[in-house]
């Protein structure tokens, strides 16, 4: 977990990751509750899915320490997330047509 960091640096990094998770959750809630049923509905959905990717990545990188793994593993996990969320965006667009 430390990866050459001091304890206070680790604490700050974990705190920043948590704050990012809280802020992104609020952003997606505001986007969907505020604009989800308007003409900007698709934008709200894209914001929610992008926030989901960034949140999942923060958990992987900082809580599960994936940032210490090689680029192959990081690519696998980020790629899987993009694939799942991308397919869901496509199904949303197709369902709305």
Partner 1 sequence: MNQTDPLTSEESLPASADSDQGWGALSDLPGNPIMWVLIISELLVFGAFFIAFGVARILDVETFRAGQALLDVRMGGANTLVLVTSGWLAAKAVQMVGLGRGRASRFYLAGAGGLGLVFLVIKGLEYASKAAQGIDIETNTFFTLFYLMTGFHAMHVIMGIIVLAIVGWKNSPENLETGAAFWHMVDLIWLILFPIVYLLQ
Which residues make Cβ contacts (< 8 Å) with residue 32, sequence separation at least 6? Answer: 44, 45, 47, 48
The reply on whether position 12 binds partner 1 by CB under 8 A is no
61 counts as binding partner 1 under rule CB under 8 A = no
In 3D space, the residue among 74, 32, 71 whose CA is nearest the CA of residue 57 turns out to be: 74
70, with CB counted inside 10 A (0-12, 13-18, 19+), is exposed
Q: Which of 12, 27, 60, 75 binds partner 1 (CB under 8 A)?
A: 60
Q: Tokens 């304890």, residue?
A: 7
- Site residues, partner 1 (CB under 8 A): 1-2, 7, 10-11, 14-15, 17-18, 21-22, 25, 28-29, 32-33, 36-37, 41, 44-45, 48-49, 51-52, 55-56, 59-60, 62-66, 68-70, 72-73, 77, 80-81, 83-85, 87-88, 90-92, 94-96
């Amino acid at each position: 977990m430390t990866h050459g960091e001091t304890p206070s640096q680790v604490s700050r990094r974990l705190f920043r990751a948590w704050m990012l998770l809280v802020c992104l959750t609020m952003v997606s809630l505001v986007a969907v509750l505020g604009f989800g049923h308007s003409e900007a509905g698709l934008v709200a959905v894209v914001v929610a899915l992008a926030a989901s990717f960034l949140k999942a990545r923060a958990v992987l990188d900082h809580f599960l320490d994936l940032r210490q793994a090689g680029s192959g593993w990081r690519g696998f996990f980020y790629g899987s997330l993009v694939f799942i969320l991308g397919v869901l965006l496509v199904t949303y667009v197709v369902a709305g047509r």
